[in-house]
């Protein structure tokens, strides 16, 4: 396998492949393996020469876990992106470098099937599935990790030897704990996943057409927008409250609205508008569902709003969902995202905090995004997979992005203070309690491990994994005792 060093014409392109340009790495060399054996050889070489090694699949990491100046060897999975049906395991197998778009394209065109997963088609399955992975269809179908049947991992044993292992969810599999850990541990913890197999829980038999859920026949999207100029504090409160109340009422798995997924974008005033976007798979009932949703959330404001409803075939949507979210410039993002799970809607005082930060006169771009959660996700027990949050109604995020480097300091200060004040009653972070349930590891935020921003006394690991952390630590002890795979928020081996 060829070493790609800084003098190679491919180096810059590969070194710069990442969503969040806030972080910059400069590995000594990059490998592009094409087989699991090559991944193992690359890891072995790094371990033997005591070089810090990391893996990258899609490059959509929000923190600097891959683009880290301390990283010396980068293993990029881009050339391992095959997706097919594996009759031996009666499951679909995807190599870790495949993107979500490519997986859904293959599943749909060959079998009319779908892997419920995250929102952007260029996210890599490699770093995505093992973080639980929610998306547009999660209320109806659950998390991507809920469909994980098996994975192949290149790990390093206690003697420093790299080796490949396959772990499945079969009860009698001696490596079942390793499978369990990969249903929510997040990327870069135990080794390098080279392949994932997917099969819906409870399905046996070897018919690829029934292995995964059927894709929706169509998607009906909605986009609603209010001019910020029309919004006063009372209207802002009403909107946030209505959305919270609707999410609480319809997060139950038996809600007639689990096919509807909705996003409220409480943008900063500088962006000019507040928005709602969402979709339903309800086909001929779609318009009726959207109307009912808007009647509960948007209409009571009594303010004019723009409204756009479109029906799209599934694959067209999956490969280019809400294009305006992913505009040119998106590939050059510098961003910070601070995530939280909610079990109950925001209180009045939290909504007042949001209004204060979103209407304040500051040179920032960003906002508070709120995504409906629950439904099928909440039918799974917290310990059945490593994705512990199974009774949340919303996943929210304070986020900001900037173009010019001079925007970094004010944007970071604004978003950090905003989030800290939202959760001021619990030390600045969403501790697991009646209202909040921690944070999502697929949206990592190193501030949660920083005592300046987390004064709750609850460690970052509890925020991400709740009660599942000790078990994840046992798995770390067994499979990566030397801590070869680590980053700022990685799992620490049990003592």
3-class secondary-structure state, position 397: strand
Residue from 111, 134, 198, 423 binding ligand FAD (CB under 6 A):
134
Per-residue x/- track, 36-55, ligand FAD (CB under 6 A): ------------------xx
* Span from 123-131, 173-181, 228-236, 461-469 in contact with ligand FAD (CB under 6 A): 123-131
Q: Applying CB under 6 A, does 116 fall inside the site for ligand FAD?
A: no
Shortest gap between Cβ of 207 and ligand FAD (angstroms)? 29
* Cβ atoms of residues 61 and 18 within 8 Å: yes
- What is the Cα–Cα distance from 298 to 88, expressed in whole angstroms? 50
Closest residue to ligand FAD using C-beta atoms: 187
Secondary structure of the chain: what % helix, strand, coil (to 5)? 35, 20, 45
* Span from 103-111, 126-134, 425-433, 456-464 in contact with ligand FAD (CB under 6 A): 126-134
Shortest gap between Cβ of 78 and ligand FAD (angstroms)? 10
Residue from 106, 128, 336, 376 binding ligand FAD (CB under 6 A):
128
Q: Applying CB under 6 A, does 401 fall inside the site for ligand FAD?
A: no
3-class secondary-structure state, position 431: coil
Which of 58/208 has CB closer to ligand FAD? 58
- What is the Cα–Cα distance from 47 to 159, expressed in whole angstroms? 10
Which of 385/426 has CB closer to ligand FAD? 385
Which of 126/225 has CB closer to ligand FAD? 126
DSSP at 324:
G
Kindly report the length of the chain: 495
Interacting residues with ligand FAD between 443 and 472 (CB under 6 A): 443
Which of 65/460 has CB closer to ligand FAD? 65
Q: Applying CB under 6 A, does 192 fall inside the site for ligand FAD?
A: yes
Phi-psi region of 321 (alpha: psi -120 to 50; beta: other; left: phi over 0): beta
Residue 31 dihedral angles phi and psi, to the nearest 5°: -110, 145
Residue from 83, 193, 231, 491 binding ligand FAD (CB under 6 A):
193
- What is the Cα–Cα distance from 196 to 182, expressed in whole angstroms? 10
Q: How many CA atoms lie within 13 A of 171 on its CB side?
A: 2
Interacting residues with ligand FAD between 419 and 448 (CB under 6 A): 442-443
With CA atoms as reference, report the closest residue to 55 among 31, 83, 79.
Answer: 31
Per-residue x/- track, 73-92, ligand FAD (CB under 6 A): ----x---------------
With CA atoms as reference, report the closest residue to 391 among 401, 379, 378.
Answer: 378
Both structure tokens of 399: 């986020």
Q: Applying CB under 6 A, does 366 fall inside the site for ligand FAD?
A: no
Helix axes 233-249, 286-297, angle to 10 degrees: 130
Residues that bind ligand FAD (CB under 6 A): 19, 54-62, 65-66, 77, 96, 118-120, 123-124, 126-128, 131, 133-135, 187-188, 192-193, 442-443, 487
């Amino acid at each position: 396998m060829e070493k790609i060093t800084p003098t190679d014409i491919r180096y810059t392109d590969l070194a710069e492949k990442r969503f969040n340009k806030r972080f910059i790495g400069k590995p000594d060399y990059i490998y592009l393996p094409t087989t699991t054996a090559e991944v193992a050889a690359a890891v072995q070489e790094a371990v033997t020469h005591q070089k810090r090694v990391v893996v990258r699949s899609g490059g959509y990491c929000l923190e600097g876990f891959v683009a880290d100046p301390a990283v010396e060897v980068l293993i990029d999975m881009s050339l391992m992106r095959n997706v097919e049906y594996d009759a031996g395991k009666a499951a679909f197998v995807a190599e870790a470098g495949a993107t979500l778009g490519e997986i859904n394209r293959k599943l749909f065109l060959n079998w009319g099937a779908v892997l419920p997963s995250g929102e952007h088609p260029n996210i890599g399955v490699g770093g995505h599935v093992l973080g639980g992975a929610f998306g547009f269809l999660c209320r109806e179908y659950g998390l991507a990790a809920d469909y994980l049947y098996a994975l192949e991992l290149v790990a390093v044993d206690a003697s420093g030897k790299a080796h490949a292992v396959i772990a499945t969810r079969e009860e009698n599999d001696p490596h079942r704990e390793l499978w369990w850990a990969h249903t929510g541990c997040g990327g870069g913890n135990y080794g390098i996943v080279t392949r994932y197999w997917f099969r819906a829980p409870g399905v046996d038999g070897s018919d690829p057409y029934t292995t995964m859920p059927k894709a929706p026949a169509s998607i009906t999207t909605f986009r609603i927008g209010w001019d910020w100029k029309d919004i006063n504090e009372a209207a802002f409160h009403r909107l946030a409250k209505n959305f919270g109340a609707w999410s609480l009422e319809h997060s139950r798995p038996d809600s007639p609205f689990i096919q509807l997924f909705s996003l409220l974008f409480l943008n900063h005033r500088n962006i000019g508008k507040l928005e709602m976007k969402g979709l339903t798979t309800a086909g001929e009932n779609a318009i009726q569902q959207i109307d009912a949703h808007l009647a509960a959330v948007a209409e009571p404001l009594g303010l004019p709003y723009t409204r756009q409803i479109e029906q799209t075939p599934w694959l067209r949507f999956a490969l280019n969902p809400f294009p305006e979210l992913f505009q040119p410039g998106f590939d050059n993002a510098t961003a910070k995202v601070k995530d939280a799970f909610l079990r109950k809607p925001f209180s009045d005082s939290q909504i007042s905090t949001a209004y204060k930060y979103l209407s304040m006169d500051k040179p920032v771009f960003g906002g508070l995004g709120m995504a409906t959660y629950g439904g099928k996700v909440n039918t799974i027990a917290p310990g059945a997979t490593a994705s512990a949050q199974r009774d949340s109604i919303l996943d929210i995020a304070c986020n900001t992005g900037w173009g010019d480097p001079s925007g970094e300091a004010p944007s970071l200060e604004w978003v950090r203070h905003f989030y800290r004040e939202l959760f001021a009653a619990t030390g600045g972070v969403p501790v697991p309690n009646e209202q909040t349930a921690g944070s999502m590891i697929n949206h990592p935020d190193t501030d949660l491990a920083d005592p300046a921003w987390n004064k709750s006394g609850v460690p970052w690991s509890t925020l991400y994994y709740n009660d599942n952390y000790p078990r994840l630590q046992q798995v770390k002890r067994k499979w990566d005792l030397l801590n070869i795979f680590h980053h700022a928020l990685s799992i620490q081996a049990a003592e």
